[in-house]
Structure 1
Amino acid sequence: MRRTARLVTGTALAVAAAGLAAAPAYGGAAGSLEVYPSTVVPGGDVTVNTSACGADGTAAGDASAVGAGSFTLAPSAHEEDLIGQFRVPPSAQPGTYEIVAKCAGGRQVTGDLMVTLTSTREQIHPRGHVKTGVGGTLGPDPVQTAAGVAALAVAAAGGTWLLHRRARGDGI
């Protein structure tokens, strides 16, 4: 039993050591190009950043897939991050595009940008009531309602009286 436990433990340690040796020296998200916002409408501004190039590096960005051309990534206020910006052209078609940044050391990182025709921002709904003179969604004004009802009653009575005179032949 003891020999089997040593064999299993030794094998597990060997596998773990091999995994660590093959792991990259940088963190998980450090090898990617972050695109913000990840979904944009044509004509919108996009910011990209990465920490894959190191603290004192620069990178050349390429957004020609979406029609924006090249841009430069420069060191930012955050440690070891490079940041760059570009504008999606108004003529861009909806779809997903690959944005590429090539570090000065030759390393290349990519990120995806989705172009849509509708904004992902929350829509603004109207609030309040409509001023029609008869009332609104917040409650009717009793004075205006009474005046409207009185005007309709006078018009109906006058129209009935004129039609009655005409039917009798009295004329107008």
Structure 2
Amino acid sequence: MRRTARLLTGTALAVAAAGLGAAPASADDTAGLRVYPSSAVPGGQVTVNTAGCGDGGTAGGDASAVGAGAFTLAPGTHEGEASGRFRVPPSAQPGTYEIVATCAEDGRRVTGDLVVTLTSPREQVYPRGSVKTGVGGALGPDPVRTAAGVAALAVAAAGGTWLLHRRARGDGI
């Protein structure tokens, strides 16, 4: 009985110690750099927010990884957050880039990720071209063959109309 009590007490102490060690990491996670939109196209504007610099804090932003250079984060409309903007250069290549902000008061660095894509998630992409189904299209896209086919159909229609007209008059075939 005494052995079981020691085992349970030791386990409880280990769990409590692990929980105390994990508490600062979770508090630090809320102070990261939030990038809106998280996925942008070249030439698009990006807004960056952080609560990691304290209430009314400012920061220097660095988006040179994507080629946008430095920008400033100042106290924004959300209480306790610093906010800044930059434009993704038109020459940016698709990929994931780390955006960094350094707090002016204490030099703390906060980071966030920006994904650069060639198409906007809000942009509708429509299909172009023809579908290769193996059915039809015997003439193909050649304009000379298309004109010859249309002319053959016109001659057939005119000949059929002439024959029907003769038959209605009673001239016979």
Q: Given the alignment of the two structures, is residue 39 of structure 1 paired with residue 55 of structure 2, yes or no? A: no
SS at match of 2:24: coil
RMSD: 3.0
Alignment of 1:38-57 (within 5 A): 38-57=38-57
Q: Please tell me whether the aligned partners of residues 50 and 83 of structure 2 are also in contact (alpha carbons under 8 angstroms).
A: yes
Q: 5+ residue gaps in structure 2?
A: 127-156, 167-173
Q: Do the aligned partners of 2:56 and 2:81 also contact (CA within 8 Å) in 1?
A: no
* CA positional deviation for 1:96: 1.0
Quote the Cα distance in structure 1 between the aligned partners of 2:123 and 2:44.
16
Query: What is the aligned residue count?
Result: 135
- TM-score, normalization by structure 1: 0.65
Give the letter aligned to residue 95 of structure 2: G
Moved over 4 A (4+): 156-159
For the structure 1 residues 80 and 13, does the alpha-carbon distance in structure 2 shift closer, same or farther, using more than 3 Å as the test?
farther
Task: Give the Å deviation of 1:108.
Answer: 0.4
Residues in 2 aligned to 1:159 and 1:115: alpha-carbon distance in whole angstroms: 63
CA distance in 2, matches of 1:157, 1:26: 84
Structure 1, unaligned stretches of length 5 or more? 126-155, 166-172
Q: Distance in 2 between matches of 1:101 and 1:28?
A: 15
The equivalent residue for 2:75 is: 75
SS in 2 for 1:24: helix
Letter aligned with residue 66 of structure 2: V
Q: 1:22 Cα deviation (Å)?
A: 5.5
CA drift at 1:14: 5.0
In the TM superposition, residue 85 of structure 1 has moved relative to its aligned partner by 0.7
Q: Which moved more, 1:38-47 or 1:114-123?
A: 114-123
Q: Report how far residue 158 of structure 1 moved.
A: 8.0
Equivalent residue runs for 1:1-172 within 5 Å: 1=1, 4-5=4-5, 7-17=7-17, 19-21=19-21, 23-24=23-24, 27=27, 29-104=29-104, 105-123=106-124, 156=157, 160-161=161-162
Please give the per-residue CA displacement for 1:23-48, whole angstroms capped at 9, x wherever unaligned: 32873642311111111110000011
Q: Percent identity?
A: 75
